[in-house]
C-alpha cells in the first residue's frame, strides 16, 4: 500500500471515529436525579414531584432533547424522609449515576443534609418542595442550590398576614414540629410578628412521632391564643388536629403546606377541612394554556388522573414541572453538563412562561429562589380535594 493511501485511510478512519464518538455523546442521556420520599406518609407528594418532572421531561424530549439531541432521563431514589438515606442517595447519584442536576424532595432536614455535599461536588441542586430558608441561603460561595418552591421566611410573613385578615387574629400561638424545618419557621414567624410590633403568646414544639399534643395545645389555650400557626408534615399535623378534637377547642389553624403532602384527611379526620394552608398552585379554576396542557398530559400519561381533583398535591406537580423546564434552560445556556456552567446558566435565564407564573430573570447570584410572596394561594381540604379558599363552597 502506498504512503498516500495509508495516509488517506488513516484520515478517513480518524474522521469516522470522531464522528462516531460525537454521535454517541449526542445520544447519551442527560441524567437528572431525584431524591424524595417515595414511601411512607408523604409518598403521595413524592409521586407528585416525580410526575411533574416526568411530564416536563417528556415535553423536552419530544422537542428534541438538550445539547444537540441528548434525551433527558430521570433517576429516582427514595430517601424515606431520612437525612442519612438522602445523603447516601446523593452520593450514589453524583458518583455512580453521574447526574447533571439533583432535584431534592420534601423534607427540609433531608435537603439541609444534602446541601453541603452538592456544594462540595459542584453539582447543581434544585428544590421543588422543601421550604427551609437555609436550604438556598446556606452561605456557600459559590452556591449550587436553587429552588422553585415556597420559602419559610416568606411563607411565615404570609401566614401572619392571612391570620390577621381572615380571622382577625391578635394572639398568635405557634405549634411547630421539633426539627430544623420547625426551627426555621419559628424564627420566621417571630420575625414576622415583630415586624408588626407583636410577639407570640406561646411557642410549642412536638416530635414527629407524637400521638398526643394536648399538653402543648393546652398551654397555648391557657395563654389566650386566638389562632394557631402550625408547621408540620402530614402525620404530625394530623395529630395536632386530632388533639384539638379531643380538647374540644375550636380555634382557627393557619398552616404551612405540610398537610398537603399525603393522607392528611384520612389521618386527621373530619376537622382536617378547618385547616387553612399555603400553596403555590391549584389546578382548580380557570387555567392558563400551560395549565390546560399539563392537565391533558397528566390525564394521558396516568390512568388514575381524570381531572384536577386527582392531581394532588398540586404544588408537587407544579413546582417540579416549572423547575425542570428552568433547569433545562440552564443546561442549554451552559452548553454542557458541567456543574459550574449549569450554575451560571441559571443566572442567564431571561424569561420563561411557566405553569405557576411568567418567570422574568428568576435567579441571580444573590437570589436563588424563583417563587415570591405574590405567588402563594391559600387552600383547604374539601372532600379530599385541595381547593383554593375562594373556591370552597
For strand 275-279 and strand 377-382, is the pairing parallel, antiparallel, or unpaired?
antiparallel
Report the pLDDT value the prediction gives residue 73, as an integer from 0 to 100.
Answer: 98
Q: Which pLDDT does position 259 carry in this prediction?
A: 86
pLDDT tens column, 19-40: 444 444 558 999 999 999 999 8
* Cα angle for residues 349, 154, 274 (degrees, 5° grid): 125
**pLDDT over 70 percentage in the chain:** 92
- Those residues whose C-beta lies under 8 Å from the C-beta of residue 179, and which sit 6 or more positions away, are 108, 109, 208
Range in 64-68, 138-142, 185-189, 383-387 with the lowest mean pLDDT:
383-387
- 203: which residues sit within 8 A by CB, 6+ positions away? 173, 174, 176, 186, 190
Contact indicator for 319, 257 with CB cutoff of 8 Å? no
Class of domain 153-279: alpha beta
Collapsing DSSP states into helix, strand and coil, what is residue 209? coil
Burial of 248 from C-beta contacts in 10 A (0-12 / 13-18 / 19+): exposed
Structure pTM?
Answer: 0.82
Q: Between these two residues, 254 and 15, which has the higher pLDDT value?
A: 254
Counts for the chain of helices (H) and strands (E), in that order: 13, 14
Asked if the model's pLDDT at residue 167 lies above 90, the reply is: yes
**Domain 30-150+286-373 CATH (choose: 3.40.50.2300, 3.30.70.360, 3.40.50.12240, 3.90.1150.10):** 3.40.50.2300
Nearest by Cα to 319 from 276, 362, 350: 362
Domain ranges of the chain: 30-150+286-373, 153-279
153-279 has the same fold as 30-150+286-373: yes
Amino acid at each position: 500500500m502506498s504512503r498516500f493511501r495509508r495516509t488517506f485511510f488513516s484520515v478517513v478512519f480518524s474522521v469516522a471515529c470522531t464522528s462516531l464518538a460525537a454521535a454517541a455523546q449526542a445520544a447519551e442521556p442527560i441524567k437528572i436525579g431525584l431524591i424524595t420520599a417515595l414511601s411512607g406518609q408523604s409518598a403521595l407528594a413524592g409521586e407528585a414531584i416525580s410526575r411533574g418532572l416526568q411530564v416536563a421531561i417528556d415535553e423536552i424530549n419530544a422537542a428534541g432533547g438538550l445539547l444537540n439531541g441528548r434525551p433527558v432521563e430521570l433517576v429516582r431514589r427514595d430517601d424515606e424522609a431520612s437525612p442519612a438515606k438522602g445523603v447516601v442517595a446523593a452520593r450514589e447519584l453524583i458518583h455512580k449515576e453521574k447526574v447533571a442536576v439533583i432535584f431534592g424532595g420534601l423534607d427540609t432536614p433531608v435537603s439541609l443534609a444534602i446541601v453541603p455535599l452538592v456544594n462540595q461536588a459542584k453539582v447543581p441542586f434544585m428544590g421543588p418542595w422543601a421550604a427551609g430558608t437555609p436550604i438556598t441561603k446556606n452561605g456557600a460561595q459559590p452556591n449550587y442550590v436553587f429552588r422553585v418552591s415556597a420559602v419559610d421566611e416568606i411563607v411565615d410573613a404570609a401566614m401572619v398576614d392571612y391570620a390577621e385578615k381572615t380571622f382577625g387574629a391578635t394572639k398568635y400561638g405557634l405549634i411547630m414540629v421539633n426539627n430544623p424545618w420547625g426551627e426555621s419557621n419559628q424564627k420566621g414567624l417571630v420575625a414576622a410578628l415583630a415586624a408588626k410590633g407583636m410577639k407570640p403568646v406561646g411557642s410549642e414544639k412536638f416530635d414527629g412521632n407524637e400521638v398526643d399534643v394536648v399538653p402543648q395545645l393546652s398551654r397555648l389555650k391557657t395563654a389566650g391564643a386566638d389562632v394557631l400557626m402550625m408547621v408540620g408534615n402530614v402525620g404530625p399535623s394530623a395529630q395536632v388536629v386530632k388533639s384539638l378534637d379531643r380538647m374540644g377547642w375550636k380555634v382557627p389553624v393557619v398552616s404551612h403546606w405540610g398537610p398537603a403532602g399525603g393522607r392528611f384527611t384520612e389521618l386527621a379526620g373530619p376537622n382536617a377541612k378547618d385547616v387553612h394552608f399555603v400553596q403555590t398552585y391549584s389546578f382548580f379554576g380557570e387555567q392558563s394554556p400551560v395549565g390546560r396542557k399539563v392537565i391533558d398530559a397528566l390525564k394521558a400519561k396516568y390512568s388514575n388522573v381524570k381531572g384536577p381533583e386527582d392531581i394532588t398535591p398540586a404544588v408537587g406537580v407544579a413546582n417540579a414541572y416549572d423547575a425542570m423546564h428552568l433547569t433545562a434552560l440552564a443546561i442549554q445556556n451552559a452548553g454542557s453538563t458541567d456543574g459550574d456552567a449549569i450554575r451560571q446558566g441559571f443566572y442567564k435565564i431571561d424569561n420563561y412562561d411557566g405553569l405557576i407564573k411568567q418567570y422574568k430573570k428568576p435567579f441571580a447570584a444573590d437570589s436563588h429562589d424563583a417563587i415570591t410572596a405574590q405567588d402563594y394561594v391559600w387552600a383547604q381540604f374539601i372532600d379530599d380535594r385541595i381547593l383554593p379558599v375562594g373556591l370552597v363552597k
